[in-house]
């Protein structure tokens, strides 16, 4: 297999993709970091593959110095690995790694829910209710894509309502790591859990309305835990399938 990196020399512009993790768009290093992070998160380089410095330099139209700085940061964020004298590789997450990640996400959302109950306004709750019913519509129409998007927005709204930028940043970081897997594994939610997830969302909204922090915290943790189970199962199947295909070919 050859490289997956385009040859184009589109130099760095004002992309400012703002994923909430970082914001030094001014410097070449900062731009590179933002673009490269998105590039990796979107699954443009396969798991375990090398991150070819020279090629990326050409692609981004920069020298190796700022690129390498960005790579060090991405390594610290857990998206890539740095092997001594062997450069950077896209970090391959084991099943265990994924379980851990999901649990940390569960912990962060659980925290977000608790904090949100302290700070959320009535207007924000109304907005989440609106999203909730819209999502319910997608559920009724069996529109998984639409459902999934709204679902994500609801969770983000809760994190926002927590009024804690530190939490939001950490959340974005871990979400990015999981998103990378989702992209590359072509993840989809399992249908069988759909009804259950919908019920859990009812409970989330209910606890939020009552601003029952510790209860919401519990529900959110369990909700994410169930997501985790489904995701891990799905991923295991996907990997088995890939392995089988590889064995055939």
Partner DNA sequence: AATATAAAAAATGAATGCAAAATGAGGCTG
Partner DNA sequence: CAGCCTCATTTTGCATTCATTTTTTATATT
Q: Which residues bind DNA (CB under 7 A)?
A: 27-29, 50-54, 62-66, 68, 82-88
Choice from 34, 56, 77, 155 touching its own copies (CB under 8 A): 77
How many Cβ atoms from other residues are within 10 Å of residue 54's Cβ? 9
70 binds its own copies (CB under 8 A): yes
Q: How far is the CB of 86 from DNA (least distance, A)?
A: 4
C-alpha atoms less than 13 angstroms from C-alpha of 238 in its C-beta half-sphere = 17
From DNA, its own copies, none, which one binds at residue 170 (CB under 5 to 8 Å depending on kind)?
Answer: its own copies
Q: How far is the CB of 92 from DNA (least distance, A)?
A: 16
Residue (12 or 232) nearer to DNA, CB? 12
From its own copies, DNA, none, which one binds at residue 107 (CB under 5 to 8 Å depending on kind)?
Answer: its own copies
65 binds its own copies (CB under 8 A): yes
| Gyration radius (Cα) of the chain, Å | 20
From its own copies, DNA, none, which one binds at residue 87 (CB under 5 to 8 Å depending on kind)?
Answer: DNA
Burial (CB < 10 A; 0-12, 13-18, 19+), residue 210, is exposed
From DNA, its own copies, none, which one binds at residue 187 (CB under 5 to 8 Å depending on kind)?
Answer: none
Residues 144-173 that bind its own copies (CB under 8 A): 164-167, 170
Q: Write the DSSP assignment of 84-152 as a string of letters.
A: TTTEEEEPPPPHHHHHHHHHHHHHHHHHHHHHHHHH--HHHHHHHHHHHHHHHHHHHTT-HHHHHHHHH
101 binds its own copies (CB under 8 A): yes
C-alpha atoms less than 13 angstroms from C-alpha of 134 in its C-beta half-sphere = 15
Element (H, E) at 32: helix 28-41
Report the SS3 class of residue 154: helix
Q: Nearest Cα to 40, choosing from 13, 70, 66, 16?
A: 70
Binding residue count for its own copies, defined by CB under 8 A: 40
Q: How far is the CB of 103 from its own copies (least distance, A)?
A: 6
**Distance (Å, whole) CA 229 – CA 152:** 18
Residues lying near its own copies in the complex (CB under 8 A) are found at 22, 24, 26-27, 29-30, 65, 68-70, 72-73, 75-78, 82, 84, 97, 100-101, 103-104, 106-108, 110-111, 114-115, 164-167, 170, 174, 214, 217-218, 221
């Amino acid at each position: 297999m050859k490289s997956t990196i385009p040859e184009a020399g589109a130099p760095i512009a004002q992309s400012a993709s703002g994923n909430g993790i970082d914001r030094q768009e001014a410097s070449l290093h900062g731009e590179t970091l933002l673009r490269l992070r998105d590039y990796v998160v979107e699954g443009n380089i396969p798991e375990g593959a090398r991150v070819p410095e020279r090629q990326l330099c050409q692609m981004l139209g920069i020298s190796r110095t700022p690129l390498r700085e960005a790579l060090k940061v991405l390594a610290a964020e857990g998206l890539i690995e740095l092997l001594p004298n062997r450069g950077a590789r896209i970090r391959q997450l084991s099943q265990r790694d994924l379980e851990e990640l999901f649990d940390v996400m569960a912990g962060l959302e659980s925290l977000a829910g608790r904090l949100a109950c302290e700070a959320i306004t009535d207007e924000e709750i109304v907005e989440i209710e609106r999203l909730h019913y819209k999502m319910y519509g997608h559920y009724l129409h069996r529109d998984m894509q639409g459902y999934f998007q709204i679902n994500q927005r609801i969770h983000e709204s809760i994190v926002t309502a927590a009024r804690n930028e530190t939490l939001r940043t950490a959340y974005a970081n871990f979400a990015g790591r999981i998103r990378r897997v989702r992209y590359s594994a072509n993840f989809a939610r399992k249908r069988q859990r759909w009804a259950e997830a919908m019920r859990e969302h009812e409970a989330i909204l209910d606890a939020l309305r009552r601003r029952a922090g510790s209860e919401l915290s519990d529900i959110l943790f369990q909700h994410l835990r169930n997501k985790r189970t489904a995701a891990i199962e799905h991923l295991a199947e996907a990997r088995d399938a890939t392995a089988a295909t590889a064995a055939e070919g």
